[in-house]
Amino acid sequence: MYRVCFVCTGNICRSPMAESVFRARVVEAGLDALVEVDSAGTGGWHEGDGADPRTVAVLEAAGYEQDHRARQFRASWFAGLDLVIALDAGHLRDLRSLAPTPEDAAKVRLLRSYDPAATAAEADVPDPYYGSRAGFEQCLELVEAASAGLLEAVRETVKEHTA
């Protein structure tokens, strides 16, 4: 099983959104028996909470399913993960510093690095938490734009593992 974990700050906005979108892409591609998708936060403030109601509303409006409980990312998880997807540069830095080995640190990538239209200056998925629903809708657009490239990268890796 190939395991992907999306990570943002509190695991109630961006990472559960990315988890729902990417899981839908994995299912559409027929890879759900080979790829496991989840999410976590760098902090534990919301541990056990559901996704932000605005995240839920935007996902449901776009036809995505979600059933989420927030949790905090743990360094011990690196051993069981193949890819750790950070939603912004701060998460990338935090996760790489948490990684027990250089190999684990290399598993951490920025989500928007998989979006060919994103420039280096646009590498982050902005945190919509303190804004309006429009910020959550923009977040969904950015996540969807990067998900196709991420799916291709995962599909290639999974093919190599199963070949």
Question: So which residues are the catalytic ones?
Answer: 8, 14, 127
Which amino acid, residue 149? Answer: G
Alpha carbon of residue 55 to chain centroid: 14
* The dihedral sign for the CA sequence 48, 126, 158, 65: positive
Strands 83-86 and 108-110: parallel
- Name the DSSP class of 160: H
Nearest to 13 by CA among 45, 47, 48, 53: 53
What region, left, alpha or beta, does residue 104 occupy, with left being phi > 0 and alpha being psi -120 to 50 degrees?
alpha
Task: Dig out the tokens for 19 from the structure.
Answer: 């988890």
